Structure formats: C-alpha cells, structure tokens
Chain A
Amino acid sequence: MSTTHLRLPEQAEAVPTPAPLLRVRGLSVSYAPPRKGTHLGTGAALRDAELEVRPGEIVGIVGETGSGKTTLARATVGLVAPAAGTIEFAGDDIGRLRGRARRAFRRSGQVQLVFQDPLRSLDPDLTVAELVREPLDIAGLLSRSERQQRVAASLDLVGLDPEAVGHRRPRELSGGQRQRVSLARAIATRPRLLFCDEPVSALDVSNRNLVLNLLDRLRVELDLAVVIIAHDLSSLAGIADRVAVFYRGRIVEQGRIRAVLEEPAHPYTALLTASAPSVAQEDRLRPDQLRPAAGTPAWPADLGCVFAHRCPVAHDACAEQPAPAVVPQAPGRLVACHDAVDWRERLDHSHPQKESA
C-alpha cells in the first residue's frame, strides 16, 4: 500500500482553492500493539487514510460503527498517536508530536473536537459560562476581561443569549441548546479546524437543521475548516462540500458530496445510499440488489478488499486490497475498488433479485 499523496483534480474549474489546512496521508492507527514487524495487528482501526480539508470547507465522514470515523478525529486532535502516516496541520506534522509538544498543541485549541452527546461530554457541575471559558483558561489565552467578552461573543455566535443561559447548567437546557453550548465551547479558542462527532444524531428534526445551519454559518464567519462525522446521509447532504465514506477502517470513496451520493462509484457507497430511507420513493437501486446473491460462497474473512465479503460483484482480483485511485469514469473522486463504476453493469446481469420478504 503506497503512502504517496494523491492529488485530487476535482477543483480544476472551481474557485481558486486555498492550501489544505489538514492533510492526512497514509494514516494508520492501531489500538493494539503491532505484532511481528510492521504488521498493524488486530487492533487496526484505521488504515492508509488520505484526507484533505481546506479552510471554509465542510467535509463529511460517513460509515458504520467501528469503521474508523472517530479514530480519525481522535488522531487529528492528538488523543491517539498514529502507527503510520502523517497528519499535517497548517504544514506541521502533528502526528509526530510527543510529550510536552503534543500537550501544548492540544491546549492551544487550534483543533477542537465536539463530542456526540453533550449531556455526557459537558461537566454537569459547571455553568454554561464556565464551560465555554474553560478551553480559554487551559490555552492560557487572553486577559480575564477579554475572556469574558470572548465567552459572550461565542455564545452569541451560536445563537444563545449569554445573559439568559450563562448561569445555567447543562441539565437546565434543551438538547439543541446543549449542542450549541458544546459548539460555543469548541469555538471559544477560535480554532481553525473543527471536528464534530455526530453533532445532530441525538437531536430532533427541528433542532437538527438549526445546528447544521449554524455550522454552515460558522465556517463562513470564522473561516473554519469543518469535519462532520455522521451516519445520517441526509443531514450531510444539506451542508457538506465533500464526503469520505469509511468502511472497516478504510476510506473506500471520497469526492464532491452530490456526485458521490447520486452516482456512487463504490458498491458500499451504493448500498448506503440505497438503504437511506427517503420520503420520495424514486426509482433507484434496491438494497437487496447490492448484497451478495443467496447461495454465493462466503468470502474468506480478512482476505483482500475490506468490502469483498458483502460485495455483490466480488471476484478473484478482490483478493488484493485496491488502493484509492482516481477513476476516469468518475472524475474528481478517489475510489478504492478494482471495478469502480463498472461494477454496475455486472450487477444487472449477474443476479436480478426481487425484494426479499
């Protein structure tokens, strides 16, 4: 598996793009100590991830539980050290920071992580004002009065009235308000990159779009680079510019969100979009067309492509993990599939199925 950097040709016609703020190359993370030489061992949570995020851009990350989404976030904020690869933030490799340097980077608050469940990630004993001020205290930024102003400004930015909610505690707020407090806390240090781990999955539809619109506004007003981890494609479709699809620790497809969701080049992405429930019942592939036909011999565990065991069109070549590559049929995208796009044709002939009972 090469760790060389693959440049995406997609922005060729788009507005001149700034240099990536975050550049992840060949990143692998393992939670168990590697055994035997360079092998990553059984604890490999992320393998050979390539990702770029530019200022003012929202990148979505989708994938099932355990596919490495949160691991990427944890590695980027410095909560876990990479086993291989580099994490360049504004030109510096932050994956190689150790000890004091790593702590200093984390405390600087340039990269912030918003956790999934605000009720469990916010200290219940602190008031909203204290919660939002805490990262500033830790970073040692600003004077006392400036911190106070920054707290008020941050709460204003997320649409909360500092006077009204500043003295309340998390349990005295609604779910949507709590999530906005988490955001205010994250942006208090004026980060350049914001990682949001499932920011809306605990929220109702009314609050969901409120928080998403807020993220959309913040990236413009603060020139933030935002990475949103989600398992709900529809919430991402609304605001993300690009999307990366994770499966079993690998990024199997990435590109502009509309292209990826409307014309998936990887069979797993196709299964995802076909499975997403939708109010409009348009003509599209059904999920059961994208599963191996009944009676297909089971694919050997851990052999080759990570998706082969669930792929409807896996064949001999899939015994080797394909590297993410730009495919001519789907410009501007990186796809890790030997049969990117072309698998569709084989799908129709191989086994037409009916909706199973």
Chain B
Amino acid sequence: MSSLREEPSTLEVSDLQISVADGLVAVQDVSFQIRRGESVGLVGESGSGKTLTCRAALGLLPAGGRVDAGRIVLGDGPEAVELTGARRSTWDGVRASRIGAVFQDPASYLNPSLTVGHQLAEQLRVKRGLRRREAHARTVELFAEVGLHDPAGVFHQYPHQLSGGMLQRVLIAIAISCEPELLIADEATTALDVVIQAEILALLRGLRATHGLSLLLVTHDLAVVAESCERILVMYGGQIVESGPTDQVLGDPQHPYTRALMGVATIGDWGRRRLDVIPGQPPAAGERLPGCRFAPRCGYAEAACLTGPVPVTDLGAGRTSRCVRTSASLAEAVPA
C-alpha cells in the first residue's frame, strides 16, 4: 500500500479519548488515518469502542458520551475540518455531504410512513438544491446504481415493503447521494444472511472504485475485513491494539489478541474442527487497568504487561502493535 502514502488524508484521528455516561473512559489513545480511496476495517468485539469511535466521527455519540481529548480531522489542506467540538452548522456541512453512513438495522433509519424514494429525493433537494423532477430522476439513477431491480418501482415503495437487503441498498444510495468523501459502514451486513452480505460487500467495493470513496468498515467479523479492506485496525478494550495491511496482519498477527481472534474466526475450510475460546471477559468500559488491557486474558503476559501502560510499537511497513513482545518472541514463548 506504499502508493497510498501519497494520497491526501480523508480522516485523521489522533489521540482520541471518549467517555460515556458517568465519565467512564470507553475509548482512549486511538489514532489512525484513512487516505483517499482507501478501505479500512475496524474490528473488535462489542464493547471494544469501535462503534463509539466511528460515532464520534459522525458527531452522533450517545447521550452522556463526549470526546475528552484528541482530534478528528476530515479532509486535507484547505478542505480540512476539525470535527471535535464542531458546531451544529459545521456538522450540517459534513454529515451526508462529506461523510455518509450506513448502520446495522436499516429499517430503523428510515421513516416508515414515507416512501423510500421520497426520503432520498428529499435529501437531494435539501442538500444539493435539486428541483423535484431532477431529484426524482437522480433518485432512480442512484437506486439503479446500488443494484435495486426496478428502481422506478422501488421509488414508490414504503420501507415495510422491502427486504432487509433491499433496505440496506436504499440506505447506501442515500449515504452516497451527496458524493461524500468517506463512507462509514457500522456492522452494515451483520444482520443479513450470507448471500446478501456478500452482495452488499461487493457493492461497497464497487462504489469505492467508481466514486473514489474512502471506506471505514466497522465489524466484529475478521473474515468480512479480510475480503474487503486494505488495512485493518484491531480494537480491544477501547484501544487499537494492532494495525497494518490486512494480508500482513492476518497472515502474521503480532498482537496476542489478534492471534486469539484468528483462532476463533472462520478459517475457510469446512468440516469439524476445534473451536478455540478466548478465556475470560473483555474489560468493562472505564475499568482501570494499569497495564495492557488484554493482559488478564493473555497467555503470554509477563510482569511488565501488568504494571505500566504498554505503548504502541511501530513495526515498520505501516504496521503497529501495542504489545511488549514481537512475533518472534511470541513464537518462542509457550502460552501459559
């Protein structure tokens, strides 16, 4: 991915810290960058802070949640906008126009009493200033682009008349309607069956190519990232524990948590096999751990892991790992 180095930044997050209700710190010390046209997978279990991180970039933190520290910068050069602490008027120019988003449960993001075409056309009229007739024509074009059959017919249908996969396509059409630079897909395919999931992922890959979109794919499923993302960020307990090019991270994971995740993920061959289990539970939001947040569950933990914070190690070639060990010393060590 060295050629991507030259591309301008689409989203740069640095030293982000987010607290939720009661001041519990749920995300800390998160830094990453997404460059133009790049697709990045953010992987973690529930409670790892992955959804909070992408919600912060959309200004949609839940009640009580707030960004304590760090910066989120959208765009590069003169176009750059600082999103932390942005005003309502700034967000109006960012959401939908520059960042599009799709979520897990498409039905709950649409108004059940308006036709889906009406809802997309409305956005085009408000955000892009199109006239009614133009907005209608563009809506039908967009519906066709996201692979809906009979787009002109779908325009007049209500959300309840469409299947989950079709609704997700409608949401994607809405998300890309204003030509955003960044599309955030938060567990967008989790609730769909595998056949539809594969179709939606193929659609997202295609849109990336045709629109030059950057993609942030948030998921708990390593296998989804493996097929759709160039780079991967692995989150655990509110921190990014490993990052790097997807094939390298999955081919030779450096952090014990990534290794453990690989052990429980779909490896691709079928038939009876061992089902690994990561012992213990992830830390709760705000739980104070002086050392590495994975140490209590880690088979390789040593004294140094428990006493002080573990810094991020730059491993070169765009890879980082938040672990005191390297893969060589992981290979030597016998897990406890």
Return A204 CB to nearest CB of chain B, in Å. 4
Q: Which of B128-136, B154-162, B199-207 contacts A (4 or more CB under 8 A)?
A: B199-207
Interface positions of A from 210 to 242, Cβ below 8 Å from B = 210, 212-213, 216, 231-234, 237-239
Whether A356 contacts B268 by the Cβ 8 Å rule is no
* A121 lies within 8 A of chain B by Cβ: no
Q: Which of A48-56, A78-86, A150-158, A256-264 contacts B (4 or more CB under 8 A)?
A: A256-264
- Among A208, A232, A238, A279, the residue within 8 A (CB) of B262 is A279
* B267 lies within 8 A of chain A by Cβ: yes
A232 to B192, CA, bound (A): 10
Which of A212, A258, A275, A279 is most buried by chain B, counting CB atoms within 10 A of its CB?
A279
Whether A210 contacts B202 by the Cβ 8 Å rule is no
* B172 lies within 8 A of chain A by Cβ: no
Chain A interface residue count, Cβ-Cβ cutoff 8 angstroms: 41
- Among A205, A275, A278, A281, the residue within 8 A (CB) of B45 is A205
Whether B266 contacts A276 by the Cβ 8 Å rule is yes
Chain B interface residue count, Cβ-Cβ cutoff 8 angstroms: 44
Q: Mark A239-262, 1 if CB is under 8 A from B, else 0.
A: 100000000000000000110011
Q: Mark B239-283, 1 if CB is under 8 A from A, else 0.
A: 000000000001000000000011011111111111111100110
How many A-B Cβ pairs are below 8 Å?
119
Which of B46, B198, B209, B222 is most buried by chain A, counting CB atoms within 10 A of its CB?
B198
Return B96 CB to nearest CB of chain A, in Å. 24
Which of B197, B198, B266, B269 is most buried by chain A, counting CB atoms within 10 A of its CB?
B266
Whether A287 contacts B198 by the Cβ 8 Å rule is yes
Return A233 CB to nearest CB of chain B, in Å. 7
- Among B45, B202, B270, the residue within 8 A (CB) of A261 is B270
Interface positions of B from 265 to 308, Cβ below 8 Å from A = 265-278, 281-282
Which of B163, B227, B273, B275 is most buried by chain A, counting CB atoms within 10 A of its CB?
B275
- Among A204, A210, A213, the residue within 8 A (CB) of B220 is A204
Which chain B residues border A213 with CB–CB below 8 Å? Answer: 275, 277
Whether B268 contacts A279 by the Cβ 8 Å rule is yes
* B210 lies within 8 A of chain A by Cβ: yes
Whether A272 contacts B270 by the Cβ 8 Å rule is no
Decide yes or no: A208 and B271 within 8 Å by CB, A272-B195, A287-B202 being known contacts. no
Which chain A residues border B70 with CB–CB below 8 Å? Answer: none
B269 (CB) vs chain A CBs: closest residue: A280
* B21 lies within 8 A of chain A by Cβ: no
* A14 lies within 8 A of chain B by Cβ: no
Which chain A residues border B193 with CB–CB below 8 Å? Answer: 64-65, 231
Which chain A residues border B268 with CB–CB below 8 Å? Answer: 278-282
A271 to B193, CA, bound (A): 12
- Among A233, A262, A279, the residue within 8 A (CB) of B267 is A279
Decide yes or no: A209 and B264 within 8 Å by CB, A272-B195, A275-B197 being known contacts. yes
Q: List 5 A-B contacts (CB under 8 A).
A: A64-B196, A174-B281, A205-B45, A206-B264, A233-B270
Q: A-B pairs with the 9 shortest C-beta distances?
A: A280-B268, A258-B271, A275-B198, A261-B270, A357-B206, A234-B266, A278-B268, A277-B223, A209-B275
- Given contacts A239-B275, A258-B271, A280-B267, 4 further A-B pairs with CB under 8 A are A257-B272, A356-B202, A357-B205, A357-B210
